[in-house]
A and B are shown apart, each in its own frame.
Chain A
């Protein structure tokens, strides 16, 4: 089997699911707790520029400022691919996946956005967390992750 072991995959599952539940229930402590202290959060903007927040305090400050806008949203992740670390570090994996969001309000539900993420997860002292999370709306002109260097 390529990629992480079964046990590692399930632990990364738990990490991603904890992140998504925290995002959609506005639980900032659980949310920030999925990042290592020196992690980077990146978000590609509609104009193609990339904004970056470095370190858990910075991620907390940014996230707290816009969490309230997500009431009724559910973010879902799938189609996950694991990319080996360029330096061969077995405690670090690149993770590429699809995401989409739904929004429910007054009984009506609708798809609101689709995209993908370029994440890096790292194990420290037996625990997996994000060292990078980079989210981007689906651009339609993306190379297959396994084609990228």
Chain B
């Protein structure tokens, strides 16, 4: 039988990165601010593209706490579930060992208890750098963006 040439991280690292992303999503959607922060390296960077196309940029615990507070402090946020998939790995652009770039799709649904119905709320993508810090995979950078702009440049319509 022929061997499979697997590009990207090895299987054990892929599983650990899976766990990291899943822990992030659970923390996000259950209002676990400390759990969400724990998914990041101490000096991690987060960028978030806004509806008007501008980019919020933060680095380090204080900035990230400010960002997540925007959601966890919003009384309309509970009911959301975020899901991530279609993940592709590429080499770290800075060539660091135990670091990978990852791009993936994400979307959010919102469940309304009163009507007992779920709606699609948001669709976008992540551009991440993950790194192994003291033996544990962490988000070193996460760029959260809606499905608009540069990613659709081949369509000739930034939407």
The smallest beta-carbon distance between A65 and chain B, in angstroms, is 15
Q: Verify B4–A107 contact, CB threshold 8 A.
A: no
Across-interface contacts of A25 in B (CB, < 8 A): 151-152, 154
With A72-B147, A74-B147, A104-B146: A17-B159 Cβ-Cβ less than 8 Å? no
Q: Verify A74–B105 contact, CB threshold 8 A.
A: yes
Q: Verify A20–B152 contact, CB threshold 8 A.
A: no
Closest to B9 in A: A10
Q: Number of A-B pairs whose CB atoms are under 8 Å?
A: 93
Within 8 A of A (CB), among B18-47: none
Q: Verify B86–A91 contact, CB threshold 8 A.
A: no
The smallest beta-carbon distance between A123 and chain B, in angstroms, is 6
B111 at the interface (CB under 8 A from A): no
Across-interface contacts of A78 in B (CB, < 8 A): 85
Q: Which of A8, A109, A111 contacts B4 (CB 8 A)?
A: A8
B3 at the interface (CB under 8 A from A): yes
Measured in the bound complex, the distance between the Cα atoms of B2 and A106 in whole Å is 48
Within 8 A of B (CB), among A61-90: 68, 70-72, 74, 76-78, 90
A125 at the interface (CB under 8 A from B): yes
A140 at the interface (CB under 8 A from B): no
Q: Verify B123–A104 contact, CB threshold 8 A.
A: yes
B87 at the interface (CB under 8 A from A): yes
Across-interface contacts of B147 in A (CB, < 8 A): 72, 74, 102, 104, 109
Interface size class of B (residues with CB under 8 A): 20 to 34
With A11-B4, A25-B152: A102-B123 Cβ-Cβ less than 8 Å? yes
With A21-B86, A91-B2, A126-B3: A110-B120 Cβ-Cβ less than 8 Å? yes
A105 at the interface (CB under 8 A from B): yes
Across-interface contacts of A70 in B (CB, < 8 A): 155
Q: Which of B11, B151, B154, B155 contacts A7 (CB 8 A)?
A: B11
Q: Verify A74–B14 contact, CB threshold 8 A.
A: no
B16 at the interface (CB under 8 A from A): no
Across-interface contacts of B121 in A (CB, < 8 A): 109
Q: Verify A123–B2 contact, CB threshold 8 A.
A: yes
Measured in the bound complex, the distance between the Cα atoms of B52 and A106 in whole Å is 11
Across-interface contacts of A126 in B (CB, < 8 A): 2-5
Q: Which of A10, A90, A109, A111 contacts B122 (CB 8 A)?
A: A109
Q: Verify B120–A27 contact, CB threshold 8 A.
A: no
Across-interface contacts of B120 in A (CB, < 8 A): 102, 109-111
Q: Which among B87, B147, B157, B159 has the greatest number of chain A C-beta atoms within 10 A?
A: B147
The smallest beta-carbon distance between B79 and chain A, in angstroms, is 16
A6 at the interface (CB under 8 A from B): yes
Q: Which of B2, B6, B103 contacts A125 (CB 8 A)?
A: B2
Show 12 A/B contacts (Cβ-Cβ < 8 Å), sorted by A: A5-B4, A13-B87, A17-B87, A26-B155, A68-B155, A71-B155, A77-B86, A91-B2, A104-B147, A109-B120, A125-B2, A126-B4
